[in-house]
Chains A and B, each alone.
Chain A
Amino acid sequence: MTVDMDKEGKRGHRPKGHSIQTDDTARVPKLTKEDSPTTHQPSSDAVTVVSHKYTAAFFAKWNVSSTDALLLLVISLVALVVRCYRLSIPAKVVFDEVHFGKFAGKYLNGTYFYDLHPPLAKMMFAAAGKLAGYDGVFDFKSIGLDYEAASVPYVGMRLLPAILGAITVPATYVVVRACGYKIDTAALASLLVCFENGLITQSRLILLDSPLVFFTVLSLTTWTMFWTQQDKPFTRTWWFWLLATGAMMGCAASCKWVGLFLFPAIGLSTIADLWNKIADLSISPRKWFAHFFARALALLAVPLAVYLFWFQVHFAVLYKTGDAKAMMSPEFQTTLEGGLNVTTDRDVFYGSEIRMRSTNGRSGYLHSHTHNWQHEKGSGQQQVTIYGFADQNNIWIVEPAYNKTIDTSNGPVPVMAGDVIRLRHKITDKFLHSHDKKPALTSDDNKFELSGYGFPGFDGDTNDNFRLEILSGDKTMEGSDKMLQSIYSRFRLIHTNLGCAVFNSRKKLPKWAFEQTEVNCMRNCMPRMSTWHVEYAHLPNNTDGVRKAEYRPLSVWGKILEYNKMMASSNAGLTGDHPFAARPQHWPWLRRGTAYWGGYGNFIYQLGNPPVWWASLASVLLLMAVRVLLFLLDKRQIRPSFGGQRAKYLSAAGFFTISWLCHYIPFFLMGRELFIHHYFPALWMAILVLAFTLDLFTARLPAVVRWSVYLVAASITLYAFETFSYITYARVWTKDVCMKSKWLNTWDIDCEHAIGGARSTEQQSSPVAGADTGVNGSDAKQRVFSAEAAGGDAINGADKSASAVESVYVEPEFVNTAAGPKEAVGKENMSIKPPVKHVEL
């Protein structure tokens, strides 16, 4: 259809006087002189154009029949039943519901939070929760918590992904029909999607992937519908489907960034289409530009607008400050109710008391306290760190350089750019100091320790001198790039002797430094992590005409930008060793699944419908092989027509294969932790290719044979669906059957949870009975419990108090910690009680 992989079929580059050949010409005779143009035409290399008629039939309008309507109704009902069956089981927090349920609650409370995914899907869950009567109190704190005990309307919330998942099934039907296939193929394709265990598992739980798959499927559905309107451009229907595609793409990208892969998929077919259109001399340049801008508007501007719109809603709903505020910039925090509220003197003078904040690190203030460095190569002088809370230990006094005095008789003297200054710690009276010692956490040659140094009667030395380098000021605040102003001036402190800059390393210090953030002095560093600004300044006894400064709240665009930048860095920083993480090369052949939840006698293990996965992969590979072979055969002028199916097969299956590649190959380049559910959008595309391939092979057979083939395919699918429905729906299973169902020995389905398995009952004989590696997160707690119940000899006694091996089952897309190890530091700092007393300012 869209990216027409069949090059000759669409080649618009037709030389004058060239006659169109019919497609059953297997071997075109050598072209005569007249056929080969004498002018140079670089785009076609060797083969002159051989065009075929088949494109016309392909875009024939799909006339919806009553059979279609009836089937759609039946399919929708079946899909709904399949998705909603046993929706209430388990009545426990499963897998990542721990995150997304919690976020839904935060939306309902209006409390700000940070997550590395865009907001739409989570807001949908919040809406579903609201409708179902969820009040946002239950906090989804850990896997295995009971919903019923807390009377959470979880079924209502799970109903949302179930319904979205169900809609993808009739949508599949529509896509296949719109691609020009018959009713039976469309029905088969929707059956394959309907009974795909992986998609079902995902759509029964409060997870983001069901909305993502839903919007991905709808984008491609509307896009194929758009293509049925090819012959009547700029009509109302044409516009409707085009704009709908853009809107759906925007929604997909607003659920998860994986939705962005739709852009290359749909974009490539658009480019190919425009490339063909430009060669069509019957389309005037004006018309061509109309085509161009219509697509640019619908497929780029509309999705962007939709994406931004959902973020607007996101920030409008989340108006109250929350735990995650500390990860955001001060300008961001001031926009939240109960967030940062700072007013300070604007100008900084010699003698001012200041509190300075690391501008990009988000980890807090330059801090010192009466404890000394303890690391081996350190000086043993007083610690200087970065600390997240405002207290008196963050207060420094600006003083002139060593052995210099400032004449203040004519009033306070402002601190200017380029001045050499010293910073005296107000409480301990020590100067900020650096010297040729290694900092605590690195032995890098370019990094030096920062310390607080000095004692009564000692006036410091030149190692206390720092040159003030103002990087930028606020444009509206005149002079803020020349003289130091609170909040408005962004500056660096350069140690005059060592030439190093005060640098926020964002690393967490050891316990003896209270796990605060390390700050050191680094040579040759980029300004990014060595930029500071003054957040509070006050000159005692200065009363005349003090000008005030405060943070400018970010506009909503600024907030969106900051949030998205943070999402990018969080995503990149997501590395972990989740036991069920899987690399892309293992996905399509279903090497293994993901354990979601384990109960007593029943459990959920995310595994696909194996025959569907394998067959769909095979058909995608087949298409690619066929395509390459056809290119070669074309060169030898052999053109198999596949019984007239060639064009339809190559364009429809070709488009979805390219979409499959776009949704699959990029994952190979991602270093972050990946899971098998990242394959689902691609899986849906592969299933379509499978249906098209089956159609291709059976198109010319008698109807009976064709339907038998379809029936066999359907039976195999249903058989596999039934076999694995136990782990899909958390049905009670026996260990024997479970063991037999491990078709591949790489499937680590934990049959110990099934009836007859070691972990199928609550009473366990030995506390360490089931210490194998594949246990479920919720279960770890129960095992601790049972371990405490068990008695035993001296050694077993030791186990009584032992924490069981913690299996990290939660997908590590965990909000606060997942902000990347670096960003997380600041937050963790907050929870550590500082060693010195707090004095609220």
Chain B
Amino acid sequence: MSVDDSAQLKMRSSKGKPITAPDTLGSAGEQGHTSVNATSSKEADSSVSSSESESRRASKVSGWVKNSSKYAFLVVVALSFITRYWLIWDPAQVVFDEVHFGKFASYYLRREYYFDVHPPLAKMLIALGGWLIGYDGHFLFEKIGMDYMSNGVPYIMLRAWVALFGFAIPPLVYMIMAESGYSVAAATLAALLVTFDNALVTQGRLILLDNIMIYFMLAAVYSYVRFFKLRYKAFSTQWWTWLLSTGAMLGCVVSCKLVGLFTIMLVGMAVLYDLWRIIDIRRGTTMFDFCRHFVARAFALIVVPFMLYLSFFYIHFALLTHTGPGDAYHTSKFQMQLIDSPMTKSSFDIHYGDQIVFRHRDSAVYLDSNTGRYPLRYEDQRVSSQGQQVTGAKNLTSNSLWMIQPAKDQLGFQEFMARRDAGEDISDEDMDKWLVYHSDFVQLMHVNTSSILRTHDVASPLTPTNMEFTTVPLNGSVAVWEDTIWQINIDGADTNDTVLQTSSSFIRLVSKKHSVAMYTHKKKLPAWGHKHQEINGNKKPTENGNVWTIPLIHGRKASPEEQEEMKNKVAKMGFFEKYAELQGLMIKHNNALTSVHPFQSTPMSWPLLVRGISFWTNADARKQIYLLGNPVGWWLSSLSLLAYVISVVALELFNRRNITIVDGIIYRHFLRSGGFIAFAWFIHYFPFFLMGRSLFLHHYLPASIFAYMMIGATYQFFNFDEYQKFTLRHWNGKARALMPSTIAAALFATIIAAQVATFMFFAPLAYGTTSMTPEQIRGRMWMSTYDLHFQK
């Protein structure tokens, strides 16, 4: 699993003479290092002379080969630039999820609050680009296919900015491969395959999050590789630099999308493995040393990322100060923090005797009653109480007015109401006596029919497990009195001195006797119930569907002074409180993303590239953007993963019989570096099987990069045996390059040619710039499941 074991060799080469390995390792019984030591000690005597002779030999070969890793890197950079930026201005329309992420960027620039399930960093980065080029956020990217030109959006610059991240991905792949001890050929192979992957190109040139996330992911992996290679110079400045850089990049990747947690798991597992080796007593590590190692990693890889994650949220809240479309997701307290929130304009204390309206938080229906009654028999032959209907109505009418009355002290209340009705001027002090508080017991009188809300032990019309809601006449019997008593439970209130308020209080209305909460759901009553929503008593009082608000008091409006006063009364919310609330909502809504999308797919289908996603179409010009990987590359990469697993299992079985087929450092590199890549692929892929939410092909893109790297790893394993020659290299070309054998060179050329040819063939779908005839489109349906448009 470890990234690379060539550090010792590397160190020797970089300084030109061998460094004696630290004492701690010298006598260690660890086999791998023993073997390295064994070879190195043989070489040690002659290493100076041999390096001299090699440098003489190197000077004989041409400059191109000598510096080929530098050229290879430049080729990757150039090709990456061309593929990502080619016709980046086309199409000049909103494509796929630009609808969301463009919009969010606009909200940042407008400083209006929005809600999204993803953490803010990537969106803030997009907004940063917009801010730098002077975009004011006037356009809201409402629909796929909207025109950018006519709306005056500087989309080219926005895309070019985001494409910078996509552009950086292939070079990063090259750097990771090279640092992990792969030959120039293997590193170039992996990087070029990534360069010519259609899905990464499509994602990499639009205003989307994934390429930003992948960029940070690879940066984190690269930093970790650098850090790991410095493990024999622990606690040096360089060591700290790369460790902290790993932590910082991990913080960034998880701040783009929560999928970044997989990258954290990847690095976490690698670190655990590393620590597992360090704690071995035969390395001579003392417990104190171990603790130092442990604490350093814990700080850099847990504390630092988390602090970064929080600070991005801090910036997020600092930017989004005004009320916006995201308000409704939040608690009233949160909403009142936002400038111009309607909550701060109309939040009144509620007194007994007020005529109020109940609105269901989730479905926005009003608690309604009318003179209609429940039918005696329902369709399923159950019988009702035939009581007055209580329903949830979409429209606000006088049928939705309820007068709130105290359950006790009716005498004093009658007197108070009489005074109030008479228009007497009641002092504030007297008024305050009749405030409604959290956990008060109340009755609710339906104003139009003068009857009282009741629930009782009768099954509700559509939901037999829940209790029916009805009303009883004002002067009903004592026997039902208890059925009409309700407790007001304000969400988040823990003491009894919280006053019930309009707008800002989220309440649950719980029957005192039956402990059921007033509940409604999307089920509609039949014609006899005016197609209103069913209302009933829910036995699980904590469910979300039980939450109601009181939007207004009949006849009460705020004067400007009152509004000002209310604004000042708003309780301030700290950053952590805000953050905790938002984080909870993000997780909740992320899990709730289960609605079926026509282009969603199952994780099982991704490695074989069974189906893509239609991003954008233009029917007139017969153009379309269809997210699809490079089939050749994806199939080959899946194949190489399979080859890797089979090889390792087979070789391990032979090893257990003491039969050695591949020896020493080559096998170790294959096992550990290859294992790291395979695990990286696995951890970025497998968890999706456990997710209930709707998933898309682009969720596989992070894993696909590691799958491409695996092609490089297996290519090297099967083609090279002079291991030391390329472990000494550095990605920017300080060390020697190795010319591959003829077969390997041919293989290299074949794979790249196939990849590029397929890329070109599918390029019209990736760029959406070419119109195609039906025959051409059908020719690209390598699988019948590629549901391209305009097949006919």
A275 in contact with B656 (CB, 8 Å): yes
- State the Cβ distance, B677 to closest chain A Cβ, in Å: 17
Question: Which A residues touch B516, using CB under 8 A?
Answer: 773
- Is B464 among interface residues, defined by CB-CB distance under 8 A? yes
CA–CA, A257 and B382, complex, Å? 36
- State the Cβ distance, A104 to closest chain B Cβ, in Å: 28
- Is B342 among interface residues, defined by CB-CB distance under 8 A? no
Chain A interface: which of B24-32, B321-329, B390-398, B757-765? B24-32
A577 in contact with B465 (CB, 8 Å): yes
A446-B598 contact, Cβ under 8 Å, with A40-B663, A42-B652, A669-B690: yes
A766 in contact with B31 (CB, 8 Å): no
Question: Which A residues touch B382, using CB under 8 A?
Answer: 803, 806
- State the Cβ distance, B603 to closest chain A Cβ, in Å: 14
- In A606-640, which residues have CB < 8 Å from any B CB? 632, 635-637
Contact of A794 among B456, B477, B514, B671 (CB under 8 A): B477
B281 in contact with A796 (CB, 8 Å): no
- State the Cβ distance, B707 to closest chain A Cβ, in Å: 23
Question: Which B residues touch A43, using CB under 8 A?
Answer: 652, 655-656
- Is B34 among interface residues, defined by CB-CB distance under 8 A? yes
- Is A771 among interface residues, defined by CB-CB distance under 8 A? yes
CA–CA, A442 and B476, complex, Å? 45
Chain B interface: which of A31-39, A181-189, A648-656, A710-718? A31-39
**Size range of the interface on A?**
35 or more
A36 in contact with B458 (CB, 8 Å): no
CA–CA, A671 and B34, complex, Å? 51
Q: Which residue of B lies closest to A36 (CB)?
A: B29
CA–CA, A796 and B480, complex, Å? 8
Interface of chain A: mostly helix, strand, loop or mixed: loop
B376 in contact with A801 (CB, 8 Å): yes
Q: Which residue of B lies closest to A769 (CB)?
A: B457
Question: Which A residues touch B465, using CB under 8 A?
Answer: 577, 579, 805-808
Question: Which B residues touch A795, using CB under 8 A?
Answer: 472, 476-477, 479-480
A803 in contact with B652 (CB, 8 Å): no
- Is A12 among interface residues, defined by CB-CB distance under 8 A? yes
A40 in contact with B656 (CB, 8 Å): no
CA–CA, A637 and B31, complex, Å? 17
- State the Cβ distance, B384 to closest chain A Cβ, in Å: 7
Q: How many A-B residue contacts, CB cutoff 8 Å?
A: 157
- Is B48 among interface residues, defined by CB-CB distance under 8 A? no
Chain A 567-579 interface 0/1 with B at a Cβ cutoff of 8 Å (1 = within)? 0000000000101
Question: Which B residues touch A703, using CB under 8 A?
Answer: none
A637 in contact with B660 (CB, 8 Å): no
- Is B752 among interface residues, defined by CB-CB distance under 8 A? no
CA–CA, A637 and B458, complex, Å? 70
- State the Cβ distance, B661 to closest chain A Cβ, in Å: 11
B652 in contact with A799 (CB, 8 Å): no
Identify which of A44, A48, A773, A804 gathers the most chain B CB atoms within 10 Å of its CB.
A773
- Is A772 among interface residues, defined by CB-CB distance under 8 A? yes
- Is A798 among interface residues, defined by CB-CB distance under 8 A? yes
B664 in contact with A30 (CB, 8 Å): no
Q: Which residue of B lies closest to A767 (CB)?
A: B457
A524 in contact with B787 (CB, 8 Å): yes
CA–CA, A671 and B692, complex, Å? 9
- Is A81 among interface residues, defined by CB-CB distance under 8 A? no
Chain A 146-165 interface 0/1 with B at a Cβ cutoff of 8 Å (1 = within)? 00000000000000000000
- State the Cβ distance, B741 to closest chain A Cβ, in Å: 24
Q: Which residue of B lies closest to A39 (CB)?
A: B660
- In A783-841, which residues have CB < 8 Å from any B CB? 783, 792-796, 798-799, 801-808
- State the Cβ distance, A789 to closest chain B Cβ, in Å: 15
- Is A279 among interface residues, defined by CB-CB distance under 8 A? yes
Contact of A38 among B35, B383, B387, B480 (CB under 8 A): B35
B459 in contact with A805 (CB, 8 Å): yes
B31 in contact with A798 (CB, 8 Å): no
A805-B479 contact, Cβ under 8 Å, with A41-B655, A511-B526: no
- Is A131 among interface residues, defined by CB-CB distance under 8 A? no
Question: Which B residues touch A544, using CB under 8 A?
Answer: none
Question: Which B residues touch A804, using CB under 8 A?
Answer: 457-459
- Is A281 among interface residues, defined by CB-CB distance under 8 A? yes
B653 in contact with A278 (CB, 8 Å): yes
B457 in contact with A46 (CB, 8 Å): no
- In B443-491, which residues have CB < 8 Å from any A CB? 456-459, 464-468, 472, 476-477, 479-480, 483
Question: Which A residues touch B787, using CB under 8 A?
Answer: 524
Q: Which residue of B lies closest to A13 (CB)?
A: B656
Question: Which A residues touch B277, using CB under 8 A?
Answer: 45-46
- State the Cβ distance, B278 to closest chain A Cβ, in Å: 9
Chain A 16-56 interface 0/1 with B at a Cβ cutoff of 8 Å (1 = within)? 00000000000000110001111111111111100000000
Contact of B386 among A37, A671, A771, A798 (CB under 8 A): A798
Chain B 756-792 interface 0/1 with A at a Cβ cutoff of 8 Å (1 = within)? 0000000000000000000000000000000100000
- State the Cβ distance, B672 to closest chain A Cβ, in Å: 9
Contact of A635 among B34, B38, B281, B667 (CB under 8 A): B281
- State the Cβ distance, A312 to closest chain B Cβ, in Å: 32
A772-B514 contact, Cβ under 8 Å, with A579-B539, A803-B458: yes
Identify which of B458, B476, B526 gathers the most chain A CB atoms within 10 Å of its CB.
B458
- Is A477 among interface residues, defined by CB-CB distance under 8 A? no
CA–CA, A771 and B438, complex, Å? 25
CA–CA, A13 and B658, complex, Å? 8
Q: Which residue of A lies closest to B599 (CB)?
A: A524
Question: Which B residues touch A806, using CB under 8 A?
Answer: 382, 459, 464-465
A771 in contact with B653 (CB, 8 Å): no
A768 in contact with B457 (CB, 8 Å): yes
A636-B458 contact, Cβ under 8 Å, with A42-B668, A48-B29: no
- Is B379 among interface residues, defined by CB-CB distance under 8 A? yes
B657 in contact with A281 (CB, 8 Å): yes
- Is B515 among interface residues, defined by CB-CB distance under 8 A? yes
Q: Which residue of B lies closest to A671 (CB)?
A: B692
- In A467-489, which residues have CB < 8 Å from any B CB? none
- Is B9 among interface residues, defined by CB-CB distance under 8 A? no
Contact of B34 among A36, A792, A799 (CB under 8 A): A36
A803 in contact with B383 (CB, 8 Å): yes
Q: Which residue of B lies closest to A511 (CB)?
A: B379
A799 in contact with B456 (CB, 8 Å): yes
CA–CA, A671 and B693, complex, Å? 12
CA–CA, A138 and B403, complex, Å? 55
B539 in contact with A279 (CB, 8 Å): no
- Is B280 among interface residues, defined by CB-CB distance under 8 A? yes
Identify which of A795, A801, A805 gathers the most chain B CB atoms within 10 Å of its CB.
A805
CA–CA, A655 and B717, complex, Å? 38
CA–CA, A163 and B29, complex, Å? 59
Chain B 4-38 interface 0/1 with A at a Cβ cutoff of 8 Å (1 = within)? 00000000000000000000000111111011001
- Is B64 among interface residues, defined by CB-CB distance under 8 A? no
B514 in contact with A38 (CB, 8 Å): no
A773-B539 contact, Cβ under 8 Å, with A40-B665, A42-B652, A798-B385: yes
B667 in contact with A805 (CB, 8 Å): no
CA–CA, A524 and B614, complex, Å? 12
Identify which of B384, B457, B526, B539 gathers the most chain A CB atoms within 10 Å of its CB.
B457
Not counting A46-B29, A771-B467, a sample of 18 additional A-B residue pairs whose C-beta atoms are within 8 angstroms of each other reads A30-B27, A36-B30, A39-B660, A40-B668, A42-B652, A42-B671, A44-B31, A47-B282, A48-B29, A48-B31, A278-B653, A278-B657, A635-B280, A771-B513, A795-B480, A802-B384, A802-B459, A806-B464
Please name the 8 residue pairs, one residue from A and one from B, whose CB atoms are nearest each other, closest first.
A771-B457, A36-B29, A802-B458, A806-B464, A279-B656, A773-B539, A793-B477, A31-B29
Residues of B within 8 A of A (CB): 27-32, 34-35, 38, 276-277, 279-283, 287, 376, 379, 382-387, 456-459, 464-468, 472, 476-477, 479-480, 483, 513-516, 526, 539, 598, 652-653, 655-658, 660, 663-665, 667-668, 671, 690, 692, 787
Between-chain CB contacts (< 8 Å), 19 pairs:
A30-B29, A30-B282, A36-B30, A38-B35, A42-B668, A46-B30, A48-B29, A446-B598, A524-B787, A637-B281, A771-B513, A773-B516, A795-B476, A801-B386, A802-B385, A802-B456, A803-B458, A803-B464, A806-B464
